[in-house]
Structure 1
Amino acid sequence: MTIIIRTEKLCKTFSSGGNQQHVLKNLDMEVRKGDFTIIMGSSGSGKSTLLYAISGMDQPSLGEIEFAGERLSTLNQDGLAVFRRHHCGFVFQKMHLLDNMSVLDNVLASGLLVQKNKKDLVKKAKELLGNVGLPEESWRKFPAQLSGGEAQRVAVVRAVINSPEVVFADEPTGALNSSSSDRVLDVFTDVNRNGQSVVMVTHDMKTALRGNRIIYLKDGVICGDLDLGLYEEGGSRLETLQHFLAEMGW
């Protein structure tokens, strides 16, 4: 399969009070185009640090990241911002929706950074909002008027409005109840089945089951890589993941 992201000897070090914390250690990884990649590991293993590095949100201390044929180290901050705008979508545990904008305007604000035909963009935004189960009467609501699950679905639509090559998600269901979590995960599954790559950090086993590939981090290095195959309910999928995580010491 085509490799969309590749890291070479990736390192990330944080300094605090004269001490250095080595969070990522000479990490080599490939992300395949079209995969739903899950990054797991215990707290402090480097999951989110890795996600922010490969998405261009944060710069590594050492090493290289190649994303869609571009070496991110060759781009300045403005260049990285433009690159992310065209190639990446982001969904976080905290939705970061703009409180003073409606649901529709939150989505359009992201889309207009890339697309200039507002009429076509509005049509696409409305289609996507409908596809994730948000009825038309909710499009003029403000974020404070939405449930957590509804707000997260808006965040997913905002992330995919520009058809990015990769959608990155950092614990996107961590603050949701079970039913809202399932609905949001269904949206990610649909996004992936429509051809977009997804890279998601999670500590939740139910969420991890949605991925077709599980990467396990421990102390800043990859210590396990599991191919789960395409998502489908039932079967031995859960048992396979449980066995893998037990081997990893999770």
Structure 2
Amino acid sequence: MKKAILRTEKLCKTYSTGGIQQHVLKNLDISIMEGDFTVIMGSSGSGKTTLLYALSGMDKPSLGEIHFEGHKLTSMSNDKLAIFRRIHCGFVFQQIYLLDHMTVLDNILASGLLVNKNRQAVAAKAKQLLEAVQLNEESWAKFPSQLSGGEAQRAGIVRALINSPRIVFADEPTGALNSASSNIVLDVMTEANRQGQSMVIVTHDHKTALRGNRILYLRDGMICGDLDLGEYTSDSSPVRQERLNFFLAEMEW
């Protein structure tokens, strides 16, 4: 039986602008199950990215609690949160944030060596992952400015997975990619999920959403829909697409 790897209790996030309070997240009680591929959808301004940042410990909520197994993230100092994220979490964002002065391979090694001091083991895993995302050896020695958008995003995926994180958070990971690069990224993330890594992804993209086994729909800072799509298989896409379309129509997407 699955257990919750991440859960929230009465999670709220409020911003104050010009003396006016904007309630972005409203009393959210969410459980993210271990090994799930959870997709968060919703219209622009619904609070998706704010929720992702709160769940990952990148931003602290205004009220409520976030628990990662036995750890209460909302009670941790910023320094402890940074160490926690380094060990347990992987991050993939539209803006890749690779270090400009380092090659692709060195960017990935730098992340891996923060957790595992065995350089040979980290390098072997980095090369295995780079091959999995179809980045050839010529690309490994390039600097970020020399990469295409698709190549940079694939390098970002490798960096996110290098430490075998318990959970990967991604914000529109295929938003700026062409179809071929999107498929490669999604295949690698799907395989990582099958190997036991939990995924939490924010997306507007139907093709990305179809990879999830659970879809959460956010509206005005509240969860108003929760769809169980079951495990993804390549031959189940037409049925999944129909179920997802029906669900999103119900949500008035």
- Matched residue type, 1:179: A
Q: For each residue in 1:140-187, what CA deviation from the matched residue of structure 2 results, as whole angstroms up to 9, or x when unmatched?
A: 111122221111111011011111100000011111122221221111
Partner of 2:185: 184
Partner SS for 1:100: coil
Aligned equivalents of 1:82, 1:144: Cα separation in 2:
29
Q: Is 2:82 aligned against 1:81? A: yes
1-structure distance, mates of 2:162, 2:69: 19
Instruction: From 239, 242, 246, give the equivalent of 2:242.
Output: 239
- Give the aligned length: 250
| TM alignment of 1:1-250, pairs within 5 A | 1-233=2-234, 234-250=237-253
Deviation at 1:235, TM superposition (A): 3.6
Question: What is the CA–CA distance in structure 1 between the aligned matches of 2:45 and 2:166, rounded to whole Å?
Answer: 28
Helix, strand or coil: the match of 1:195? coil
Q: What SS does structure 2 have at the residue aligned with 1:236?
A: helix
TM-score, structure 1 length as denominator? 0.98
- Give distance in 2, aligned partners of 1:206 and 1:130: 23
Aligned-pair CA distance for 1:197: 0.5
Asked if structure 2 preserves the Cα contact closer than 8 Å seen for 1:153 and 1:187, the reply is no
Looking at structure 2, the residues matched to 129 and 198 of structure 1 have their Cα atoms a distance apart, in angstroms, of 19
Gaps of 5+ in 1: none
Q: Distance in 2 between matches of 1:143 and 1:21?
A: 37
Shift of 1:4: 0.2
Query: Could you list the per-position Cα deviations for residues 4-48 of structure 1 after superposition, in whole angstroms to 9, with x for gaps in the alignment?
Result: 000000000001111110000000000000011000000111100
**Partner Cα separation in structure 1 for residue 116 and residue 147 of structure 2:** 27
2:22 is paired with a residue whose SS is strand
Gap regions ≥5 residues in structure 2: none
The whole-number CA distance in structure 1 between the counterparts of 2:232 and 2:99 is: 33
Indicate the RMSD between aligned Cα atoms, in angstroms. 0.9
CA contact (8 A) 1:13 1:61 kept: yes
Report deviation, 1:68: 2.5
Cα offsets for 1:92-125 (capped at 9, x unmatched):
0111111111110010111111111112111111
- TM-score, normalization by structure 2: 0.97
Runs of 4+ that moved beyond 6 A: none
